[in-house]
Structure 1
Amino acid sequence: MADMTDVKIRLNFWRSAYEKLTAAYTALVDGRVKSYTIDDRQLTRFDLGTLKDEIEEAEQKIDELTALLNGRRPRKAFGVIPRDW
């Protein structure tokens, strides 16, 4: 498990990535621009689906890292097996 300084660094990275992704998404959806550039990546309206997926991934990472900073453990996956008695 990473120490708190590493968690804070990762959290800052994902927050800045989230801000860039949401800015690109809103600019493309509003129709203000035909293409948007993030660092060396060129995005168009055709990339909205993948951009939305990346935003959801960033939100999930931010939630996990803030939970780690608050002292909570990451969520564990579990399965439910329905039974017919």
Structure 2
Amino acid sequence: MATAQEMLVFYTDAEIAVLKGQRVRFGERDLTRADLAEIRAGRREWQLRVDAEGRRGRCGWATADFGGTT
């Protein structure tokens, strides 16, 4: 199975492809090969997973060392 980072790249690439023109208009008919809103929703989902993986193992706070030499 692909990692969250790989899936994020996949969805980002798909979004770029759609934005570059995977939409065609024939007179009154509009043909979209992919649903941009659905791709963006998937990208956001995978971005959240990548962000969560980046936070895993971190406690959310840091310690300070005030015992330095002067």
- TM bin, normalised by shorter chain, reads 0.5 to 0.7
Higher relative contact order (CA 8 A, sep 6+): 2
Percentage identity across aligned positions? 16
Count of residues in Structure 1 that have an aligned counterpart in Structure 2? 52
Q: CA RMSD in A?
A: 2.5
Letter in 2 for 1:49: A
Report the counterpart of residue 26 of structure 2 in structure 1: none
Q: Larger C-alpha radius of gyration, 1 or 2?
A: 2
- TM-score, reference length from structure 2: 0.61
Q: Which has the higher helix share?
A: 1
| Superposed CA offset, 1:31-68 (max 9, x none) | 1x45xxxxxxxx924x1111100000111111111000
> Which structure 1 residue ranges, 4+ long, deviate > 2 Å from structure 2?
none
- TM-score, reference length from structure 1: 0.52
Matched, 1:26 2:19: no
Matched, 1:72 2:62: no
Q: What is the alpha-carbon distance in structure 2 between the residues aligned to residue 23 and residue 58 of structure 1?
A: 13
**Structure 1: segments with no counterpart, 5+ residues:** 1-11, 35-42, 74-85
